Amino acid sequence: MAEENASLWAPWRMEYIRSLSPDAKDDGCFLCGYWGQPDSDQENRVVWRTSRCMVVLNRFPYTNGHLLVAPAEHVGELAALDDDTLIDMTRATRDAVGLLTDVLHPQGFNVGINLGRCAGAGLPGHVHTHIVPRWSGDTNYMAVIGDTRVVPQSLDDLHTQLTEQAAKSGLRS
Ligand SMILES: [Zn+2]
């Protein structure tokens, strides 16, 4: 069991996976790119925005519904974020957990921030909170042996479901 959990929560894989992805950006920061392109929220799978942060579906999810909460500012440390931004991110994290609960009915969540490369940050320059929904039995031999996760729903379908529910909940207009 411990091995399964360790394998699921292996965020240092992100950097590797992203580096292999054809849409990985060689330069720049994808979160800054998303923030600067509000007209591409559908394509970038941004679920909603506040004035200070955005909630985005992770392109390389550990489980179905893996969301990221990222501030508008490109900073790598919590100490660089002002109180208003930290409060806003925490509210967005709370609302993201609520949204995922409404749509996917997970049995638990892992919520966390990786600070620094040695802690597994795939994008150490732009701090972001991971929200990973969990179900009992969501780890299996694929994750342990193949380092591959079986995510049962397409990201686009899930993005549509989440944005519709976010609109109903008043998180996005
Ligand atoms: Zn950035």
Active site residue 128: yes
Per the structure, how many domains does the chain have?
1
Ligand 1 midpoint to CA 14 (Å): 16
pLDDT by residue (tens digit) across 48-99? 999 999 999 998 888 889 999 999 999 999 999 999 999 999 999 999 999 9
Ligand 1 midpoint to CA 71 (Å): 9
Whether residue 173 lies inside any domain: the answer is no
pLDDT by residue (tens digit) across 96-116? 999 999 999 999 999 999 998
pTM of the entire predicted model: 0.79
Distances (CA, A) of 34 to 23, 71, 87: 13, 11, 21
Whether residue 61 lies inside any domain: the answer is yes
CA angle at 143 for the pair 138 and 148, rounded to the nearest 5°: 115
Whether residue 101 lies inside any domain: the answer is yes
The domain of 24 spans 2-168
CATH of the domain at 117: 3.30.428.10
Whether residue 151 lies inside any domain: the answer is yes
